[in-house]
Structure 1
Amino acid sequence: MTLTLLLDILAPSVLLAQSIGRWGNFINQEAHGGAVSRQFLETLYLPEFIIEQMNINGTYYHPSFLYESLWSLLGFILLIILRNQKGLLRRGEVALSYVIWYSFGRFFIEGMRTDSLWIGDIMRVSQMLSLVLFISAILLLVYRRRDYPSKPFYSENLKLSKK
């Protein structure tokens, strides 16, 4: 099994794991966004237990953990659908799609957080990393498609099997 095949198999599961893992931030009341009003949280139609957990020392905060959890879950579903479409993706492109998807969402969600490391006063470190990964993955995808057009498309669902 090649590394690219292994990464393609693992990528959707990593998104699912990240979606579940973000709930640890919820339980620990960490990695939240900026202060908001209770009314704002109610306009999101969140369950009461989420609204109450976002009340930290008398201040309500953006549930950025939830945004990232839902983003990752949506990405998981999307990658499963895309990788099961015959003739759409080539080997390595599921993993590249993961990097593109996750870094795009993380760039915006990170902008809401209050506990980020900064590069001076310019940009958050995580946003810069997300931007670099997003651009790099797109360029690599374009490069692979342009310079290696003979790479085969997936013709069946990805699965581990002995041949």
Structure 2
Amino acid sequence: MATLKYSRLLGTSLLCGILAGAPATAADLVVIVSARNPVATLRADQVAAIFLGQSVRFPDGTEAVPFDLRVGAPTRDEFYARVTNKTPALLKAHWSKLVFTGRGQPPSELADSAAVRRKVADDPEAIGYIERSALDASVRAVLVVQ
């Protein structure tokens, strides 16, 4: 009996420790544009089209230049899972096909949310995604990823 109680306590402690160190959740992600970009909001399907190379323009007709986080970043995987319903393997297959057929190139990759925020802030045509905690006045959130 004491062993069972100890096992439950240990299991609960481990679970709490895992959750405390868990990466950002979908509610912590936002899609951003430069504060100088006139786009106020975007739908998830519009963002997905831009990041999957299916659209190169914002809804107002201006060019959209997407910037990604590096391959393997948990925030990147979460973004694509929530916005495009693609796993890293499916995303790689998607871009392999487009590149091979000459129909597109994947977004440029940046090291972290701070780098994405700086790049997007400097370019009104840029779009990216970052952790909500990395937001500042230089960029505007156009979609909260849920």
Smaller-chain TM-score range?
under 0.3
TM-score relative to the length of structure 2: 0.26
| TM-score, normalised with respect to structure 1 | 0.24
Larger fraction in strand: 2
